[in-house]
Amino acid sequence: MSHYDSLVRATAPPLQRCLMMLSFAAVCIVGTHCPATELEITLESGSVFRTDVKLGAINWKEVRSNGQMTVRRIPTSDIRRLWLCETPASNHIAKIRELLSLLQSADYRDRENAERELSDPETGGQYPKMLRQLADRADAETKYRIGRILNKISAVESSTPSEFDELELKSGRTLRGDAGEFEFTCVADGQQLKLQRNQLRMLRSPIPDGDSVTPNGSQPIQTEIVLVPDGKFYLPEQTTTHLETDAVGNDLDRKADITKTYIPFGLKLGSVEPGYVGISGYGFKFPETPTGDNSGNVFTEFKSGGQVRYKKFRGTLTIDFCLPNRPYLRAGVNEFGTYIATIQYERAFVMEAFNAAGQIVATVEAGERDCAFLGVRTNELIARLQIRRNSQMDKFHRKIDDDFAFDSICFSPPKELTTGGVANEKEPASNEKATARLRNGNVWIGSRLELESDGSISLAIDDSKAPISLASDLIESYTFATDNLKRRPNRRSWSVQLSDGSIINVDPGKRFRSQLVPEFLVPVDQAIALWPSESAARLPHSTDWKDAKNIIVHQTGRLLASEVKFTDEGYRWQTIDKRLQELAPNANELALDEDPMPDLKEVVYKEVDRNSAPTLWLQRPQTLNPDAGYVLLRDGQRLMFGQKCLFQLVDRDGDSIKLKLNARTIEIDNARVQSVKLEARP
């Protein structure tokens, strides 16, 4: 028996019992006579599918802050949701047990190394009561070392919460602990699978299929920006978080990393810059705002003296959506709002809302001095938002304060986006995995997707195992992996959106020549919108169409124009009206007098800057017809096919996809294709 074990047995019976429990594995009983339970399975790879599972129960360990654990069996039929962390809590405790033993080693270097590791808030900071219990009866040196460890972990706040499994029962009770090791076999979409705990992310009771109504055909896009949330936001049907607690009600501390905290709600936070989104420690103290003591901000990472440090309140906040508790299933919302606080200057920030195609549905400018509400409502699903510095203010040579914090996020229920869009160019291409979505709602995600000659899919879920095969008649859409993806088109390219929703890259002029099919010339009267391909298209406001038939959209406003005239060098127009975003009621007179809109009357193709390029709308934008199919190319082109669409699908196989344009057949190599959505079945 080791000196440490003797000490534990003699001085800390509760601690001894919890540590002794680590010697056995909590394995779920899988018997041939277990009744089958239908569960929705989420794999670590991201795949989500429903299947019958013969799993009688799990041995659930409830873990206390002092490391003590109690074990009880939970019938699988009682589980509403089981969220599995990457590293079970038992593994953390086992690591601490090893370090506590080394803290009393005869070797000085072992004691030094153990103290250093236990002083890490992500290690010793997770179970401080275990340290205190040992210190109560330890020798003088060990007690001294534990005192130093406790001082260090209390002075430095952890940026990540302790790793626990989360178990939500059908009774409504939520538990945090350790589900242990288990395995089971199942059959899904013709695939026989043997799954172990380390391959799983979540088990849950399936959500009943709702009576959702699919829109019948395309509809005019309606968009509204909101600067005062009265009666439109923070409603019971919306999700609201004031950043005080996580999704299961645990208090959030300063510097806590909340990048993934609200995935159970369908919200994913991030930043363009290296770093994380966390709790700032700055409290919003503004009257008549639904804010709390906590607020969030971007912790931008930088290196100083060889150490990684973080700068608060600086950076670009990104906001993405997923289906609740299903982080790999991209989603969008129709309503979003949040408060942001700035330090000194008005109009210092903008919030941009993007749809799944990467077009900017709306831009909301922060116009209030201290605390601004930024809200968007639209019938076009918002797939991503970002809050960033308002570079347009540089036009006035004004100082802009880059610091901001946010609080009180609210949004409507997330709805699934059925195909992937072009990834943000700041994200690593490896984040975009291959995906196959099936007509029954199952989603399979893997590292590599290959299309067979009969239209079936071979998908590598795990590189160490044989790929799965999915029959052609099961498939609704698929997305190829985007390793080594070159997204940006050439600088001379412009994009045209057509009336069926197709987006094609063109060489502009009096008529637009397709770069994909040079023989195809797009007449101006068939174009809906025109913008530089390197830029994001910006949508107009729905109210603009009452007063004009052509609209030029800039970052901070719109120009309403009469007939637009095209030449080979560019296009020009006669301005009817100039419309800027209204500022919040208490903006100062200086801000109200400023006009951030460029006073343009023409655009020259060769002189356009991609960062400030406007979008020309010649007709009112429409939502996509949900019954149509499309091919999304890696350079951003979207080729719609189906009834009343420009293109028709001819064939697809392992090498290419063939479309018909008028009487011409176009063959596109799969290496150029990002994703394909097939037409809806009658």
Q: First vs last Cα of the chain: how many Å apart?
A: 73
pLDDT value at residue 427: 38
**C-alpha dist (Å) from residue 153 to 99, 133, 176, 513:** 15, 16, 22, 64
Residue 38 has a CB neighbour count (10 Å cut-off) of: 11
Q: Which long-range contacts (CB under 8 A, 24 or more apart) does 466-472 make?
A: 468/189, 468/191, 468/444, 469/190, 469/191, 470/189, 470/190, 470/436, 470/438, 470/444, 471/190
Residues 402 and 451 in one domain: no
Residue 378 sits in a domain of what CATH number? Answer: 2.60.120
Final residue in a domain of this structure, among 624, 643, 665: 624
Angle at which helix 89-102 crosses helix 128-137, to 10 degrees, equals 30
**Pairwise CA distance, residues 577 & 287, whole Å:** 37
The residue type of 674 is Q
Backbone angles phi, psi at 135, to 5 degrees: -65, -25
Which tokens go with 326? 């299903």
Q: Which of 69, 40, 49, 150 is nearest to 103 (CA)?
A: 150
Four-CA torsion 372, 229, 240, 280, nearest 10 degrees: 10
457: in domain: yes
Which tokens go with 18? 């919890």
Looking at residue 181, the DSSP 8-state letter turns out to be: B
Q: Which residue has the tokens 């086992």?
A: 94
pLDDT value at residue 29: 38
Element (H, E) at 108: helix 108-118
Q: Which residue has the tokens 């569960």?
A: 39
Pair 586, 594: CB distance under 8 Å: no
Residues 65 and 177 in one domain: yes
Looking at residue 159, the DSSP 8-state letter turns out to be: S
CB neighbour list of residue 196: distance below 8 Å, 6 or more residues apart: 181, 182, 183
Q: Which of 206, 469, 233, 224 is nearest to 362 (CA)?
A: 224
566 lies in which domain range?
A: 494-624
Backbone angles phi, psi at 150, to 5 degrees: -65, -35
Element (H, E) at 615: strand 615-617
Residues 309 and 354 in one domain: yes
Residues 408 and 542 in one domain: no
The residue type of 189 is D
Residues 395 and 265 in one domain: yes
Pair 467, 461: CB distance under 8 Å: yes
234: in domain: yes
**Pairwise CA distance, residues 497 & 637, whole Å:** 9
Residues 192 and 97 in one domain: yes
Final residue in a domain of this structure, among 573, 604, 624: 624
676: in domain: no
656: in domain: no
> Which runs of E-coded beta strand occur in 253-293?
267-271, 275-279
Q: Which of 272, 242, 241, 225 is nearest to 373 (CA)?
A: 225
85: in domain: yes
Backbone angles phi, psi at 186, to 5 degrees: -155, 165
**Pairwise CA distance, residues 159 & 89, whole Å:** 17
Residues 557 and 438 in one domain: no
pLDDT value at residue 525: 82
Q: Which of 674, 302, 639 is nearest to 478 (CA)?
A: 674
pLDDT value at residue 46: 82
**Pairwise CA distance, residues 143 & 433, whole Å:** 50
**Pairwise CA distance, residues 99 & 111, whole Å:** 9
Residues 393 and 249 in one domain: yes
Farthest CA pair distance, the chain? 91
Summarised one tens digit per residue, pLDDT across range 516-541 is 999 999 888 889 999 998 888 888 88
Residues 40 and 174 in one domain: yes
Residues 471 and 382 in one domain: no
**C-alpha dist (Å) from residue 478 to 3, 175, 282, 333, 442:** 59, 37, 44, 22, 12
Final residue in a domain of this structure, among 170, 204, 238: 204
Cα 170 to its chain centre, rounded Å, is 28
pLDDT value at residue 339: 92
Rg (CA), the chain: 28
507: in domain: yes
As for how many domains the chain has, the answer is 4
**Pairwise CA distance, residues 145 & 266, whole Å:** 43
Residues 271 and 292 in one domain: yes
Q: Which residue has the tokens 């090893």?
A: 98
654: in domain: no
Cross-strand partners of 647: 641, 661
DSSP 162-176: ---EEEEETTS-EEE
Pair 577, 552: CB distance under 8 Å: no
Low-confidence spans in the chain with pLDDT less than 70:
1-34, 64-67, 121-122, 124-127, 154-162, 208-217, 343-347, 367-369, 392-401, 419-432, 463-464, 483-491, 583-596, 611
CB neighbour list of residue 336: distance below 8 Å, 6 or more residues apart: 319, 353, 375, 376, 382, 385, 409, 410, 411, 412
Residues 443 and 556 in one domain: no
Pair 279, 255: CB distance under 8 Å: yes
Residue 10 has a CB neighbour count (10 Å cut-off) of: 10
355: in domain: yes
